[in-house]
Structure 1
Amino acid sequence: MQKIILLSASALGALSVMIGAFGAHALKASLEASNRLDTFETAVKYQFYHTLALLAIGLLMYRLNDKLLDYAGLTMIGGILVFSGSLYILCLSGIRWLGAVTPIGGLLMIAGWVLLFWAIARAG
């Protein structure tokens, strides 16, 4: 599981930079016209922050052998995909109901942080 977490962090980190650059350059005019530039930037920021957390979880797995870290990593990945993914699709497609899906991703991210906290706390 550790390798999957670290590979996911690497891939999602690269995607954060690529998607952010694409939005800042190729999509900027379109995102400004639809008043979605801030939303797009939020999606990129949350993806990047949680990718760094995912990397930390993967590295922490070298020190702690706890299944909670597996769950923390998986919920973090799910949170990134649902939270940022729904916002990217909303910005590019204008499908407004996707805004209702975004909080589910946020809850997954929160769950990842709580599981990380729990794993560290019980490590002693």
Structure 2
Amino acid sequence: MKTETCLGIAGLMGATAVAAGAFGAHGLEGKIPDDLMEIFQTAAHYHLIHSVVLLALSALIQQNQKSAILSISAYFFSFGILVFAGSLYILALSGTRWWGAVTPIGGVLLILGWTTLSYYCFRAGKSFASRPNQS
């Protein structure tokens, strides 16, 4: 994934996370049952946190543009946000409980995003440690 693409997705995800949070706080309060409101808030929380992760990942991609692992991680995070938060938003707004069965797919994608990011960092640490001292 190109740096610009990752930054663009991070920006869109961040903006929609803030909009969703505001909608939940100001538009849904008292209009949906408390249990569905809690689900909506969980979606907005994970949505925003992982948008920031995409922003940080953009900086890593900028520095390491040839890393396929970082691109894969960015895709996992992007689709993970869509599926995880998206299914929870739909569940909360529609009350259709079967959307809860879709949510773990998004959770797995987010976990894969974190795992691939960790893999990259451990591999980068090894290659950095093996470089000669350049001071």
TM-score (norm 1): 0.94
**Shift, 1:35, TM fit:** 2.4
| Residue number in structure 2 paired with 1:94 | 95
- The 5 Å alignment of 1:24-103 reads 24-31=25-32, 33=33, 35-64=35-64, 65-103=66-104
Tell me if structure 1 keeps the 8 A contact 2:13–2:51.
Answer: yes
**Range with greater deviation from structure 2 (40-49 or 61-70):** 61-70
1 CA distance for matches of 2:59 and 2:109? Answer: 20
2 CA distance for matches of 1:106 and 1:92? Answer: 20
| Residue number in structure 1 paired with 2:130 | none
Amino acid across the alignment from 1:90: L
2 CA distance for matches of 1:84 and 1:42? Answer: 8
Question: 1:32-61 CA deviation, whole Å, 9 max, x = no partner?
Answer: x35211111100000011111111111111
Partner SS for 2:35 = coil
Structure 1 gaps of 5+ residues are: none
1 CA distance for matches of 2:42 and 2:80? Answer: 14
**Range with greater deviation from structure 2 (109-118 or 59-68):** 59-68
Tell me if structure 1 keeps the 8 A contact 2:36–2:95.
Answer: no
- Work out which of the two has the higher radius of gyration on C-alpha atoms and give 1 or 2: 2
| Residue number in structure 1 paired with 2:7 | 6
Partner SS for 1:61 = helix
Identity of aligned residues (%): 44
Tell me if structure 1 keeps the 8 A contact 2:40–2:88.
Answer: yes
Partner SS for 2:63 = coil
